[in-house]
């Protein structure tokens, strides 16, 4: 029997990530090629005509899985009945700007949209915040939508995770699909800590630790980390626009693994509500290694954290605590 359609909200759908993301969702990249979808697309009135253009293109593409399109500038209409919400709408970082610069513009948007989601989304709606500052926008959304369970509100660090996999695969000249279990800790910002201490590569001789294969701790503890941390800025410098196709693809990876599960023996990075694991302060949205089963994520526990890593986990937590305070000061 054919499955019931799932309603997927994309905010900021007339923007550049939206333009890359909605066809992926309509093709089954996010929820599977047997899962019909109804797309809900929200943008602001100045973008209404462009949003309608995206809707026209979705019709023109004749996606077999796409069972309906709602394109609107009304947050209530957009949020009504949605099962999954991908929050991309907001003001993006421009060349030379730090994420803090975009804070005040975005937290007030997330406060308002929290209420629309809380009141009108389907029960158990899963929320992924992409718009920057992603962790703090997600935290604001959580605080102002108290009836949505905290475990349903996440932010995107899968792009950073995938960037780390990509850097290791290039360094070792191996397929990216053979590299796994890197970790992004903390904030989706240049303070994040890309950690390879538990990462492995599938080789002809079995699974080998990344550190053993790379044999260059100076690179792994230096240039590798800064390259991943600064990749967003490097893309902005090259394209004069922030990353879009990789962000859209990673958003699909995030939701797919959350809903359909992570492969056995593999974890991924997700920004989730901290309950204090790894001595990360509770009450932040912080990126951890997680596995997913039955639509629920669980933080991978018990990984060893050396002194070098500990400092980096703490540094990015401090930045998130500061962002949280700044976000509240912007709202007051």
Ligand X SMILES: NC(=O)c1ccc[n+]([C@@H]2O[C@H](COP(=O)([O-])OP(=O)(O)OC[C@H]3O[C@@H](n4cnc5c(N)ncnc54)[C@H](O)[C@@H]3O)[C@@H](O)[C@H]2O)c1
Ligand Y SMILES: O=C(O)C[C@H](O)C(=O)O
Q: Checking phi first, is residue 32 left (phi over 0); if not, alpha (psi -120 to 50) or beta?
A: left
Instruction: Give least dist CB 130 to ligand Y, A.
Output: 8
Residues that bind ligand Y (CB under 6 A): 93, 132, 159, 232-233, 235, 242-243
- Give the separation between CA 164 and CA 158, rounded to whole angstroms: 10
- Give the separation between CA 291 and CA 125, rounded to whole angstroms: 19
Binding range to ligand X, per CB under 6 A, among 36-44, 173-181, 258-266, 284-292: 36-44
Closer to ligand Y by Cβ: residue 243 or 316: 243
- Give the separation between CA 172 and CA 183, rounded to whole angstroms: 18
Residue 16 marked as a ligand binder: yes
- 186 is a site residue for ligand X (CB under 6 A): no
| Residue ranges in 230-296 assigned as alpha helix (H) | 231-239, 245-260
Residue 271: name its binding partner from ligand Y, ligand X, none (Cβ under 5 to 8 Å by kind). Answer: none
Catalytic option among 40, 120, 161, 188: 188
Instruction: Give least dist CB 250 to ligand X, A.
Output: 6
Residue 39: name its binding partner from ligand Y, ligand X, none (Cβ under 5 to 8 Å by kind). Answer: none
Cα dihedral 307, 291, 118, 67, rounded to 10, equals: 140
Which distant-in-sequence residues (6+ apart) come within 8 Å of 193 by Cβ? Answer: 183, 184, 185, 186, 225, 309, 312, 313, 315, 316
Number of residues that bind ligand X (CB under 6 A): 28
Residue 93 marked as a ligand binder: yes
Residue 198 a catalytic site member: no
Residue 289: name its binding partner from ligand Y, ligand X, none (Cβ under 5 to 8 Å by kind). Answer: none
Binding range to ligand X, per CB under 6 A, among 38-46, 166-174, 272-280, 285-293: 38-46
Closer to ligand Y by Cβ: residue 159 or 164: 159
Burial class (CB in 10 A: 0-12, 13-18, 19+), 120: middle
Residue 42: name its binding partner from ligand X, ligand Y, none (Cβ under 5 to 8 Å by kind). Answer: ligand X
Active site residues: 188
């Amino acid at each position: 029997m054919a499955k019931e359609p799932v309603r997927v909200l994309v905010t900021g759908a007339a923007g550049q990530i939206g333009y890359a993301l909605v066809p992926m969702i309509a093709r089954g990249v996010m929820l599977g090629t047997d899962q019909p979808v109804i797309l809900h697309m929200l943008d602001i009135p100045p973008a209404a005509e462009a949003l309608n253009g995206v809707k026209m293109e979705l019709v023109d593409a004749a996606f077999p899985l796409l069972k309906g399109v709602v394109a609107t500038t009304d947050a209530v209409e957009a949020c009504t009945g949605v099962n999954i919400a991908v929050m991309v709408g907001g003001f993006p970082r421009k060349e030379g700007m730090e994420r803090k610069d975009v804070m005040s513009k975005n937290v007030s948007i997330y406060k308002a949209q929290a209420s629309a989601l809380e009141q009108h989304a389907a029960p158990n709606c899963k929320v992924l915040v992409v718009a920057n500052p992603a962790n703090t926008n997600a935290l604001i959304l959580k605080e102002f939508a108290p009836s949505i369970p905290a475990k349903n509100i996440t932010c995107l660090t899968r792009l950073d995770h995938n960037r780390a996999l990509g850097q290791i695969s290039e360094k070792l000249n191996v397929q990216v699909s053979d590299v796994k279990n890197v970790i992004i800790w903390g904030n989706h910002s240049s303070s994040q800590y890309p950690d390879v201490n538990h990462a492995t590569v599938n080789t002809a001789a079995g699974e080998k630790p990344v550190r053993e294969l790379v044999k260059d701790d100076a690179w792994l503890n230096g240039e590798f980390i800064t390259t991943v941390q600064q990749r967003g800025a490097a893309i902005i410098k090259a394209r004069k626009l922030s990353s879009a196709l990789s962000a859209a693809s990673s958003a699909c990876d995030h939701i797919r693994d959350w809903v359909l599960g992570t492969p056995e023996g593999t974890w991924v990075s997700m920004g989730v509500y901290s309950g204090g694991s790894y001595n990360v302060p509770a009450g932040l949205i912080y990126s951890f290694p997680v596995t997913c089963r039955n639509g629920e994520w669980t933080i991978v526990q018990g990984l060893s954290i050396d002194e070098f890593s500990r400092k980096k986990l703490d540094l990015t937590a401090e930045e998130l605590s500061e962002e949280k305070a700044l976000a509240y000061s912007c709202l007051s």
